[in-house]
Amino acid sequence: MLDLKKIRENPKKFKDLISLKEKDVSLKKIIDLDSQLKSLVSKLNNLQADQNNKSKEIGIMKSKGEKTNDLFSDLKKLSDEIKLLEKEEKKISLSLKEELLQIPNIPHSTVPIGLSEKDNIIKVDCDEKKKFNFKPRDHIDLGKGLDILDFESAAKISGSGFPMFKGKGALLERALISFMIDFSLKNYNYTEFFTPFMVKPDSALTTGQLPKFDDDMYYIEKDDLFLIPTAEVSLTNIHKDEILQNEELPKYYLGYSSCFRREAGSYGKDTRGLLRVHQFNKVELVKFVEPSRSYEELESLVSQAAEICKLLELDYRVIELCTGDLSFSAAKCYDIEVWAPGESKWLEVSSCSNFEDFQSRRGNIRFKNVEGKVEFVHTLNGSGLATPRIFASLIETHQNEDGSISIPVALQPYLGISEIK
């Protein structure tokens, strides 16, 4: 959520910055509601002051034995008027908050301006993709040939868009998760969590999935719970409504989870095999940091995720997203993509974002700085990594002409084998 005080001070600046992400956003209703609320609060304060003065006056008159009937009548009228105004204040405050929750975060000044993913910038490119002396097969063909992927059974059980890993495919999926968790725990100062996969609506509101993107989430109506689209939701809400101490920061949290996405807007996108699924596994990385360090922490997060791709011996690149391609909550974001030679395309496997204080305002996550002043923390998150496209890229990149898969050296201890055949 954006800082209302800053919007109030310079509405045009905020309108211009927001329009770089969403063209049709208007701040007029927010400005109008804010103005109404300020006027109402001012009137309430005056009436409450008048109420206090009359109460004191009644006390003095009573002590002198004087009659107070008229003042009591005035006080009753004041009390009734205050109650009505307090009710109106709550109504306007709620409307104002609802409007603010619909407004996206503003892009950081360093984000390249653009309309769509076509305007994104390649920050780190792949020097040379792996060459094959045969035509590489895609992961669907490889998975079927090795009997490690079973999309037919998954569709019979759950419908389309759900993967099923089988035999050494299940072993490889589990190995990838364990390897990625261990890498981040051993090389960076993360605390591991295994969080709930279902969250209350308030939790999804903190991270920005609600109220605007409820159609993308699976909802359990009987219990008023949402299945998480990422462990970011659970991890970020650990400190909801808390004030952290400065010496506690930074906090680095890691969590593996299954992720659930309806992919309501996926029409026209490639949904073959593992490329876009409703359920998948992901290792999530979340940071709570001081505002002055958040962009340094973002660069570190990107390097961390990219290092995993290197260790898996995959061709990868780092993309800086332009304003028009930024997510609702992000102030700045990098995507990491890996090359899938069988698909002959780049696949996104990680998004690393700095949300600044956008999520912490929504979740009321604060810290006491070195001067003792309470302010909002900056939150960041990144995938470290999501497995389906990593799985697809890995078996396509490391395939052999006979259809077998060579296992990257870093992953071999987790499988106990050097080849799937």
Of the candidates 184, 203, 257, 351, the residue annotated as catalytic is: 351
Give the strands of the sheet with 198-199, arranged side by side. 198-199, 225-227, 219-220
Active site residue 389: yes
How far is 201 from 225, CA to CA, in rounded Å? Answer: 6
Residue 95: alpha-carbon gap to chain centroid: 24
Annotated catalytic residue, options 203, 300, 389, 396: 389
Active site residue 353: no
Task: Return phi, psi of residue 214, to 5°.
Answer: -65, -25
Q: Which residues contact 183 (CB under 8 A, 6 or more apart)?
A: 307, 308, 311, 384
291: how many CB neighbours lie within 10 A of its CB?
15
Of the residues 276, 293, 307, 313, only one is catalytic, namely 276
Sheet of strand 366-368: strand arrangement: 243-245, 366-368, 374-376
- Does 248 participate in catalysis according to the annotation? no
Residue whose pair of structure tokens reads 């008229």 in the numeric block: 70
Residue 348 annotated as catalytic: yes
> Of the listed 348, 375, 404, 406, which one is catalytic?
348
Tell me the two tokens of residue 361: 């305002």
Set 99, 137, 232, 261: catalytic member: 261
For 395, half-sphere exposure in the C-beta direction (CA atoms, 13 angstrom radius) is: 30
Dihedral, 404, 408, 412, 414 alpha carbons, nearest 10: -100
Query: Quick one: 102 exposed, middle or buried, by C-beta within 10 A (0-12, 13-18, 19+)?
Result: middle
Instruction: Answer for the pair 240, 203: CB distance below 8 angstroms, yes or no.
Output: yes
Is 366 an active-site residue?
no
338 bridge partner residues = 316, 347
Catalytic (active-site) positions: 261, 276, 348, 351, 389
